[in-house]
Amino acid sequence: MTKDLPEALTGGCLCGGVRYRINGKCRDIINCHCENCRRTHGHIAAYTSVDQSALALIRQQTLQWYHDESPNTYRGFCNRCGASLFWDARDGRNKIAVSAGSLDNSHELKTIGHVYVSEAAKYYEIDDGLPSFETSNSGALESD
């Protein structure tokens, strides 16, 4: 589900080179287990998702975009401290994923499921009982 938060949510990278504000609804957190997310995040990726227009970059001097060619997506990261921040499909869906770990710790978002568990690594178990999807959740977890 998406949540109207009482105040605009803020977040940023470790070094402060990237800071953002979210002026709108945030989807609850979905963990992505795909190999590409694991390689760039160092473990699974936990993401909220917001409207593109809701994400305001306050500081972006060290924000850089990595073109992930397969699948064709763009990953926003800090080129100074290495933080993984954004995932943007740029396919017209008007949503951008924001890494949950980069959010300032003042929100009530909860983890609601797992995607791409077919690519999960073998060093951990997924045993929290939340809905899991072999690949994309195809919108099943996105409803308002």
Residues within the interface to Zn ion (CB under 5 A): 13, 15, 17, 78, 80-81
Q: Which is nearer to Zn ion, 87 or 116 (CB)?
A: 87
CB of 93 to Zn ion, least distance (A): 27
| Integer Cα distance of 85 and 14 in angstroms | 10
Which of 88, 129, 85 is closest to 103 using CA atoms?
A: 85
| Integer Cα distance of 78 and 34 in angstroms | 21
CB of 82 to Zn ion, least distance (A): 7
| Integer Cα distance of 124 and 13 in angstroms | 26
CB of 58 to Zn ion, least distance (A): 13
- Cβ–Cβ < 8 Å for 49, 94: no
Q: Which is nearer to Zn ion, 43 or 80 (CB)?
A: 80
64: tokens are 């850089």
Q: Which is nearer to Zn ion, 2 or 60 (CB)?
A: 60
CB of 85 to Zn ion, least distance (A): 9
Q: Which is nearer to Zn ion, 26 or 78 (CB)?
A: 78
